[in-house]
Homo-oligomer: A and B are copies of this chain.
Amino acid sequence: MGLLVVGSLGLDTVATPFDKIENALGGSATYISLAASYFSGPIRLVGIVGSDFPKEYIEMLNNHNIDLEGLQIVEGGKTFRWSGKYHYDLNVRDTLFTELNVFEKFDPIIPENARKSKFICLGNIDPVLQAKVLDQMENPQFVVCDTMNYWIEGKKKELLDLLPRVNVLIINDSEARLLAHEPNLIKAAKIIRAMGPQILIIKKGEHGALLFSEETIFSAPAYPMESIYDPTGAGDSFAGGFTGYLFKTRDLSTESLKRAVIYGSTMASFCVEKFSTKGLEELSYLQIQDRFRQFMNLSRFDED
Question: Looking at the complex, which one of B89, B207, B261, B301 makes contact with A296 (CB distance below 8 Å)?
Answer: B301
| Residue A226 CB within 8 A of the other chain | yes
Task: Flag if B255 contacts A301 (CB, 8 Å).
Answer: yes
Residue of B nearest to A289 (CB): B303
Task: Flag if A186 contacts B296 (CB, 8 Å).
Answer: no
Question: Provided the pairs A255-B301, A299-B299, A304-B259 are in contact, do residues A208 and B218 lie with their beta carbons within 8 angstroms?
Answer: no
Question: Provided the pairs A207-B208, A208-B207, A217-B224 are in contact, do residues A258 and B301 lie with their beta carbons within 8 angstroms?
Answer: yes
| Residue A302 CB within 8 A of the other chain | yes
CB distance from A2 to the nearest CB of B (A): 22
| Residue A249 CB within 8 A of the other chain | yes
Residue of B nearest to A262 (CB): B301
Question: Provided the pairs A219-B298, A298-B217, A299-B221 are in contact, do residues A249 and B304 lie with their beta carbons within 8 angstroms?
Answer: yes
A216→B296 CA distance, assembly (Å) = 12
| Residue A300 CB within 8 A of the other chain | yes
| Residue A292 CB within 8 A of the other chain | yes
| Residue A88 CB within 8 A of the other chain | yes
| Interface residues on chain A, size class | 35 or more
| Residue A187 CB within 8 A of the other chain | yes
Question: Provided the pairs A217-B224, A304-B249 are in contact, do residues A89 and B299 lie with their beta carbons within 8 angstroms?
Answer: no
Q: Which of A186, A224, A258, A296 lies at the interface centre, i.e. has the most chain B CB atoms within 10 A of its CB? A: A224
CB-defined contacts of A89 to chain B, threshold 8 Å: 183-184
CB distance from A203 to the nearest CB of B (A): 12
Question: Provided the pairs A221-B219, A224-B217 are in contact, do residues A301 and B259 lie with their beta carbons within 8 angstroms?
Answer: yes
Task: Flag if B185 contacts A206 (CB, 8 Å).
Answer: yes
CB distance from A266 to the nearest CB of B (A): 12
CB-defined contacts of A208 to chain B, threshold 8 Å: 207-208, 219
A210→B304 CA distance, assembly (Å) = 20
Task: Flag if A300 contacts B298 (CB, 8 Å).
Answer: no
CB-defined contacts of A85 to chain B, threshold 8 Å: none
CB-defined contacts of A190 to chain B, threshold 8 Å: 226
Binary B-proximity of A233-257 (CB < 8 A = 1, otherwise 0): 0000000000000000100000100
| Residue A204 CB within 8 A of the other chain | yes
Question: Looking at the complex, which one of B183, B219, B228 makes contact with A299 (CB distance below 8 Å)?
Answer: B219
17 residue pairs bridging A and B, Cβ less than 8 Å apart:
A89-B184, A184-B225, A186-B225, A187-B226, A210-B224, A218-B298, A218-B299, A219-B224, A220-B301, A221-B221, A221-B299, A249-B304, A259-B301, A259-B302, A259-B303, A296-B301, A300-B300
Given contacts A88-B183, A186-B225, A219-B222, 19 further A-B pairs with CB under 8 A are: A89-B183, A89-B184, A186-B226, A187-B226, A207-B207, A207-B208, A208-B219, A210-B224, A218-B298, A219-B221, A219-B298, A220-B301, A255-B301, A258-B301, A259-B303, A262-B301, A292-B303, A296-B303, A299-B299
